[in-house]
Amino acid sequence: MTESDFETDPALAAAVLEVEEHAAQEGWDRPARLYALVDTAALAAQEPDLAALMGLDDASAAGSLTPIEQDQLAPERRLEEVLQTIVWPDEVVGCAAVVERLVLPPDADGQIPDDAAAAEEFARSHPDRQEVRIVAGVTRAGASYCALRLRSHDDPSSVMAGADLVPQLTQLLAATLEPVE
């Protein structure tokens, strides 16, 4: 993670890293999760008792985002399918998702079967597969930020973070924030 990553949208970067840390504490082999990102100052003004419980004051609330975990997604549906059905209310200024995936080396691309079930089995049995936890977040203002943690390097100092690490996922998340016509 570089200093320029935080210059893009520090509130989003902080929220994504907070969600990543929370996911890391819960461990691996978890279902996909979805978070609404709300303006912390607006939340504190609307819910002062909650703000007090969270230990927020005016200074800590200003310019930050609070992740609010949504109901658990149905395990039989992939996150990418669920995102196509989501529309957030205006109070939600951004959203984030956590998903675990298998990643294969680039030289395996030509060997992946076309059939989805066969491709999944191919990935699970590939000797060079890597398990990765992805946390991606976007805002209505167009910012994106991601954090990646490999299971084989499961420590906070090995988390990779940046704005454009998983562009397809951030595009799907951004589409959930577009106004409904």
- 177 pLDDT more than 50: yes
SS3 of 109-161: HHHCCCCHHHHHHHHHHCCCCEEEEEEEEEECCCCEEEEEEEHHHCCHHHCEE
Please report which confidence band the pLDDT of residue 166 belongs to, taking 50, 70 and 90 as the band edges.
very high
- 2-60 pLDDT, tens digit each: 444 445 799 999 999 999 999 999 999 999 999 999 998 888 888 888 777 877 665 55
Query: What is the reported pTM?
Result: 0.84
Domain residue extents for the chain: 3-37+68-175
The CA distances from residue 61 to 6, 18, 42, in Å, are 18, 15, 8
- Structural element, H or E, at residue 169: helix 167-175
Give pairs for 150-157: CB < 8 Å, separation 24+: 151/28, 154/24, 154/28, 156/21, 156/24
Q: Of the candidates 4, 10, 3, which has an alpha carbon nearest to the alpha carbon of residue 143?
A: 10
- For range 151-174, the mean pLDDT: 93
Query: Rounded distance, CA 43 to CA 48, Å?
Result: 8
- For range 59-68, the mean pLDDT: 78
- 99-153 pLDDT, tens digit each: 998 887 777 777 787 887 787 787 778 887 889 999 999 999 999 999 999 999 9
